[in-house]
Amino acid sequence: MTPNQIYNAYENIRVQSIDKLKLVVLLYEGAINFLNQAKKAMIEKNYAQKGKFIGKAEDIIIELCSSLDMEKGGEIAVNLSRLYDFMLYQLTMANLKNKSEYIDTVIDNLETLLKAWKEIEKKQKLNGKTEKKQSTTQGIPKVRIRPKINRPVNATAKSRIAVKI
C-alpha cells in the first residue's frame, strides 16, 4: 500500500467509527474552512483555487442535504434542505460574480448552524450520551435560525427560511 492509500484507509475507519453528531460538526467546520480559503484565493485573484475551494464547500453542503431524513426530520429537515439550497445558490453567485459577500452570507449561516450543533453535542455529553437513538433535538430548547443576508434580496421563499432546532 502507498502512504496515500494507508491514510485514506485510516480516514475511512475514523469517519465510520465517529459519532454522527461529531461528524456533522466536522462537516460544518470543513465547509467554513474551505470557504475562508476561497475568500483568500479570491483576494489573491487565484480563480482556480477559489473555484476549487467553493466546489469543496458545495460538496459538503450537498452531502449534508442528501443525508437529511425527510420522514423523521419533518419540518426541520425540510427547512434545512431549503437553507442548504439557498447556500448553494449563494456559492454559485460568489463563483460567477467573484464577490466575497455571497461567501460571507454562507459562512454566517454555517457558523450559526455549527453553534447550534455544538450546543446539542455539549448537552448530550452532559447527559452522558454518546449517540442518541431518538431525535437529537429532544430536550434541547428550540432555536430559530434565519439566513443572514448582507445585501438586499428579492422576497423569495429562500430568503425567508426559518429553521427550528
Q: Of the given ranges (63-77, 107-121, 122-136, 149-163), which has the lowest mean pLDDT?
A: 149-163
pLDDT, mean of residues 94-99: 95
Q: What angle do CA 25, 28, 34 make, to 5 degrees?
A: 140
**Residue range 100-113: mean pLDDT, rounded:** 97
Report the distance separating Cα 50 and Cα 38, nearest Å. Answer: 4
Backbone angles phi, psi at 51, to 5 degrees: -65, -40
Strand partners, 163: 145
Between the two ends of the chain, the Cα-to-Cα distance in Å is 44
pLDDT classification of 83: cutoffs 50, 70, 90:
very high
Determine the average pLDDT of the residues in 15-43: 89
Greater confidence, 134 or 22? 22
In angstroms and rounded to an integer, the radius of gyration of the C-alpha atoms of the chain is 17
Helical packing angle, 100-126 and 20-43, nearest 10°: 160
Q: Which structural domains are found in the chain, ordered by start?
A: 3-164 (1.20.120.340)
What lies within 8 Å, CB to CB, of 81 at 6+ separation is 65, 68, 70
The phi and psi torsions of 145 (rounded to 5 degrees) equal: -120, 125
What is the mean pLDDT of the segment spanning 94-100? 95
Higher pLDDT, 107 or 21: 107
What are the pLDDT digits (tens) for 55-79? 999 999 999 999 999 999 999 999 9
Q: Are 144 and 112 in contact (CB under 8 A)?
A: no
Helices of type H across the chain: 3-17, 20-43, 47-66, 70-97, 100-126
